[in-house]
Amino acid sequence: MFRKGVRRLTLGALLVAMLAALAAATGGAAGPLTFVTPTPTYSHDGSPDQNPCPGPGVNERHYCLVLTTYNNLKKSGGVEVDLTLQNYDQSTLSNPVTTLNWDSGDNSLAGLALVSTDGPASCSAPLTGGPVVCTFPNLPGLGSGAVVGAHKPCPPLPPGIQPPAPICSTVKLFFSVKATEPDVSFTATADVKESQPNGANVDQQRVAADMLFGTDDSQDATIALPGGSSELDAPARKSSVTFKGGSAPFLAQLQAVQENPTTPGVCFPGINCTGLTLTTDLHLAPTGTFSATNPILWTAVVAANNTNVVAVHNYDAVSLTSSAPNTLSPPQGTSFANCDGVTFEAGKTPIGLQPAPQVYFVVKATNTSFQVASSATGKPLTFSGSAPFSGSCIRIIGDQKTERFTGCPAVPPTPPAPAPAVVPAICAAKINNSTVQVYLYDSANGGVHI
C-alpha cells in the first residue's frame, strides 16, 4: 500500500532506514557487514624448532591450538577471542588445558576483563584481568587408522577436502574492554595431561596473535554484552546507532558511506535519497533482543531546511509460501500488512517476478497474506512456482501521524531521548536553517540511509 502522505513530503529531507528484520523478529541480515571477521592463527609446538601443528613426522602429540581474534572492534565495549583445540592424534587428548595471556605495552592498558564464555571448557580468570585458564573435556582421537597431514579446518569440510579432519572443541571468550593502546597482543598455550618437562613427547602448543582496534571514523563495531547498552558511532557522517544487549554476546557493526549527493538514487518508487548510507548489522543478536519496549535508536544529521522527514525501511527477507495465482503468505508471527513494497532475493523469487533491486508494491495485504503489483494502484501480478521464496518488506515511516513524535532535541542527549510510545517512529529537530537532527526508533535491526 503506497500511502498518499508520502507524496506530500517529497520537498523535505528523506531519511531511509534499511532494517534487517521484520518488526516481529530479529536475526538474519540480508547483507551483513564484513569489516570485522574471524582471524585464525595456528600454533607451533614448544620445541626449539617450533614445529608447526599438527607436526607430521615429529615425535609429539599431533594437535593444534587455534587462536582466533577479531580486528576493527572499538576500544571500549566488548571483544571476543576464540580458542580451538584440533586433535589429529590417534588417541584421546586427555584433560587439555589452555592459558590465554595478553599484553598492550603495559598489561593494564588493554583494559580487558573476562565477562562470559560459550563452549564446553570451564574457564576462570582473576578479577584484575588475565590470564584466562580453560579446562576442556577429553577430546577423542581419530583412531588407529589416522594419518596425520597438514592442518585442516574443523568439520564441516569444504568440498574436495578429505578426512582425516581434526576433531575440534572451541570456547569463545567475551571480554569487556577499555583500551588506551591501538592493539592487544595475545599469547596462548595448550597442554595435555601427560605434559611433563622430561616427557617422551613434546606436547605443548603455543600461538601468538595481535588484535587491532578500528581506526576508520566511518565505521564502528563492538561485541554487545548482556545487561548493558552499546553505541556505535560514525563521526565522519555525524551518525550513530544505540541499542541494548541481548541474552548473550553478539557482534554489532555500523558502516557509513556517502554517495554523490547529486545522484542520490531512488529509495522507493517516486522517492529520492540524499546519498548517506548507514548500514547497521545486528543480525547476530539473539532472537527477541529488540522490541517495542527495547527499541534501536538511529541518529543522524541531515542536510535540510525543514523537518519534513520520512524513512523507508527495507526489512530482512523472510520465507514466503504461495497460493496460485497471485497470493503470498509470510511465516506465522510476521505480517506484510504495514508494508508498502517488497523485494525478492535472487534465486528465491516466484517465477514471473524479478529479484532485487526490482521493487513491487504490496497490495491487498492482511495479517496473513498479501499480493504484489507494479504500481500503487495496479492489479495484482500473477506468478508461478512452489517455493522456497524469500521477500523483504519495505515500509515507509513518517507519512502517518502515528509514526511521528515531537519534542526531540537538536543535539542528542546522553543518554538518548526517551523512546516514543509507539515504534517505529521518527522525529526531526532543526539545528539551523540548513541541517536537522533526526531520530529514528524501530524494533528491528538494520541501517539508515539519508
Boundaries of every domain in the chain = 1-34+216-450, 38-212
My answer on whether omega of the bond before 131 falls inside 30° of 0, hence cis, is yes
pLDDT at 203 over 70: yes
pLDDT confidence of 309, banded at 50, 70, 90?
confident
Give me the DSSP letters along 186-202. EEEEEE-TT--TT-SSB
The pLDDT value given to residue 415 = 73
In the predicted structure, residue 9 carries a pLDDT above the cut 80: no
Q: Does the pLDDT value for residue 194 go beyond 80?
A: no
pLDDT in tens, 312-327: 778 878 899 988 899 9
Instruction: Give pLDDT, residue 261.
Output: 67
411-433 pLDDT per residue, tens: 988 777 778 989 999 999 999 99
CATH number of the structural domain 38-212: 2.60.40.290
Q: Whole-angstrom Cα distance, residue 7 to residue 226?
A: 42
Full-model pTM: 0.86
Tell me what pLDDT residue 242 has.
94
Average pLDDT, stretch 157-163?
68
Q: What's the pLDDT band for 86 if we cut at 50, 70, 90?
A: very high
For residue 449, pLDDT beyond 90? no
* pLDDT category of residue 30 using cuts at 50, 70 and 90: very low
The pLDDT of residue 163 is above 80: no
34 phi and psi angles, rounded to 5 deg? -130, 15
Task: Give dist(CA 370, CA 25) in Å, integer.
Answer: 19
- Which parts of 235-269 are beta strand (E)? 239-244, 250-258, 266-268
DSSP one-letter code for 54: T
121, three cell numbers = 571448557
Residue 244: pLDDT band with limits 50, 70, 90: very high
Helices (H), 333-433: none
Residues 6+ apart with CB under 8 A from 82: 38, 66, 67, 68, 170, 171, 172, 173
Please compute Rg for the chain using Cα positions.
26
Q: Are 40 and 64 in contact (CB under 8 A)?
A: no
Q: What is the pLDDT of residues 346-360, one digit of tens each?
A: 888 998 999 988 999
- The C-alpha cell at 291 is 522490541
Task: Judge whether residue 198 has pLDDT over 90.
Answer: no
281 closest CA partner among 14, 23, 30, 25: 30
DSSP 81-127: EEEEEEE-SSS-B-S-EEEEEEESSSGGGG--EEEEEESSSEEE--T
Residue with cell 568440498: 159
Question: How far apart, in whole angstroms, are the C-alpha atoms of residue 424 and residue 118?
Answer: 33
